[in-house]
A and B are shown apart, each in its own frame.
Chain A
Amino acid sequence: MIARALPSQQFWRLTIAGTFTFLAIWSVAALSGLTSRAFLPAPWDVVVRFIELLTQPFAGYVLHEHLLSSLHRFAMGFGLAVLIGIPLGLLMAWFKWIDRIVTPAFEAIRFVAPIAWVPFAALWFGTGIGGPILIIFMGAFPPVLINTYRGAKQVDRKYIEAAQMLGASSWRSMTEVLLPAAVPSIVAGLRVSAGLGWQSLVGAELIVASSGVGYLMVKGQASVSTATVMCGMLAIGIVGLLIDVALRRLHAAIEQRRGT
């Protein structure tokens, strides 16, 4: 059966009920004595640890400093993916010969998982800033490029013909017709790309030994603190969700302005 839309009140009731059931099962399992509390901490242990991490430095910094450091790397890798992905996608959509040159290399590279770049990044950059940026970039770049390219390729032919008859150069056709027409597709790509880039972050931070949420989790693992590792996961989840919400807002704002 295809689900019907639920009334919003019922929707919220089910969401809350689901969350409580999950927390209840978790609590019972943690308190049952089947495992030690260090192996499976109760939900409130994680909350307490979370607050501790916010106030007392662990692995050199407090939690939000680790987060900022992660976000900084993420912004560089993601930013680089956007700066290269969007123009390259437009060029490939406009000039067939560029498409021909780039596609084979790109198709080969995009099936290498971002994590699989870790050994390579370690060899090239050691523990420098370049390593994590490369890994985040490898996660974030393909969706930006693919969505820009597809969005630009699917532009209604009539806009391209209108631009041609109005004497637009290749540069103006790309920046003033292909790019704005592809914006909805590009923003959809940015959401996927930000998600993949953020997910690649922990892998990236396994090779930087100084700061970041991934680093915090590795240190938590080393000191056998499951609660610390879970706090890192929680922080990654929350920030990832916030990034997605921000991009979804951007998407909605653009759609509204266009009146589509």
Chain B
Amino acid sequence: MAVIQFQHVGRVFRQNGKEFVALKDINFEVGDREFVAVVGPSGCGKTTCMRMAAGLEHPTDGEVKVDSEIVTQPGPDRAVVFQQFALFPWKTVWDNIDFGLRSLRVDTEERKRRIEQIIALMGLGGYEQAFPHQLSGGMQQRVAIARAYVLDPKVLLMDEPFGALDAQTRVVMQEELVRLARKNPRTVLFITHAVEEAVYLADRIVVMSRRPGSIREIIDVKTVRETENWDAHTCIEDVMDLPSFVHLRTHVWKLLREQQLGDEH
């Protein structure tokens, strides 16, 4: 059963009497414990889609529902991992992770247990009392993911979470997210412009095009991944070498390239 639903979602901006259609007739669903990646060129409105599911923005047409209820405002049941981390610089790693738990009115013992568990899981041990600026970009993003995961939210919304990281750190984080997602599956809406990242992480990929932002194609990755047994490989490089992976990647690339060529003519 679908946890996130986009039903005929549109978004129109009005400026100086002119209308600009940012999103047009977006229809897709994210099932229970399904990992859906949205890829598209910049300006296609993919981040806006995520922000609508979070309740940080609102559609001008159609509806965005989470658990069959129309999203009206942000809340801890829809935890967001931002591209720019958005950790509170005046709070320690521990207090950053604790921030959302305190809104959930979880008792002190339970909070402590959950924070310790997520810190161990994300490899943040020893950094509990560090401030964000004392950590590398990769470590900061681990804290941001921990801060979202610890809430045990209905859905996780990730907006290009690895976009600000260097190439090596990015690969490590992608592997860890796969490990986390397979061991502990959640309903995830993942926004990215990196095609390989989407193919590697997602169960399904929503490919978007721009002007106006709309859905080009929805691709099933999970079936291919399971029949070709990608998860038997622990390294991302090995998975990326598999013919089935290359085939899917090329397919998504072509969809995006067509738009690029269309733009130029």
Contacts and interface: CB of A to CB of B under 8 A. Distances in A.
B131 interface: yes
B89 A258 contact: yes
A81 to B, nearest CB: 24
Contacts of A161: 56, 74, 80, 82, 86
Given A164-B56, A166-B147, A181-B90, 20 more contacts: A158-B82, A158-B86, A162-B82, A162-B88, A163-B99, A164-B73, A165-B75, A165-B78, A165-B79, A166-B76, A166-B99, A167-B75, A167-B76, A167-B104, A168-B103, A180-B91, A258-B89, A259-B89, A259-B133, A260-B133
Given A162-B82, A162-B88, A259-B131, A167 B100 contact: yes
A172 B103 contact: yes
Interface residues of B, number: 28
B86 A167 contact: no
A177 B103 contact: no
21 contacts: A158-B84, A158-B86, A159-B88, A161-B74, A161-B82, A164-B75, A165-B56, A165-B74, A165-B76, A165-B78, A166-B99, A166-B100, A166-B103, A167-B76, A167-B100, A167-B104, A168-B103, A176-B91, A258-B89, A259-B133, A260-B89
A181 B88 CA distance: 9
B9 interface: no
A20 B90 CA distance: 46
B54 interface: yes
A169 interface: yes
B96 to A, nearest CB: 9
A159 B96 CA distance: 11
Contacts, number: 66
Contact of B103 (A158, A167, A257, A260): A167
Interface in B52-104: 54-56, 73-76, 78-80, 82, 84, 86-91, 99-100, 102-104
**Residue with the greatest number of chain A CB neighbours at <10 A, chosen from B79, B90, B103, B147:** B90
Given A167-B76, A167-B100, A167-B104, A162 B133 contact: no
Decide if the interface of chain A is mainly helix, strand, loop or mixed.
helix
A96 B75 CA distance: 22
Contacts of B99: 163, 166, 168, 176
Interface majority SS (helix, strand, loop, mixed), chain B: loop
**Ordered nearest first, which 9 A-B pairs have the shortest CB separation?**
A167-B103, A166-B100, A259-B133, A167-B76, A180-B90, A164-B74, A158-B86, A162-B86, A165-B74
Nearest to B90: A180
Q: Which of B86, B89, B91 has the most CB of A within 10 A?
A: B86
Interface in A43-70: none
Interface string A170-190: 001000110011010000000
A172 B56 CA distance: 19
Nearest to A177: B88
Contacts of A260: 89, 133
Contacts of B103: 166-169, 172
B134 interface: yes
Contacts of A258: 89-90, 131, 133
A11 to B, nearest CB: 32
A117 to B, nearest CB: 37
Contacts of A158: 82, 84, 86
A163 to B, nearest CB: 8
A260 B133 CA distance: 8
Contacts of B86: 158-159, 161-162
A185 B54 CA distance: 31
Contacts of B90: 180-181, 183, 258
Interface string B118-148: 0000000000000101100000000000010
Contacts of A168: 99, 103
Contacts of B55: 165
A172 B95 CA distance: 13
A184 to B, nearest CB: 11
B25 to A, nearest CB: 27
A172 B73 CA distance: 17
Contacts of A164: 56, 73-75
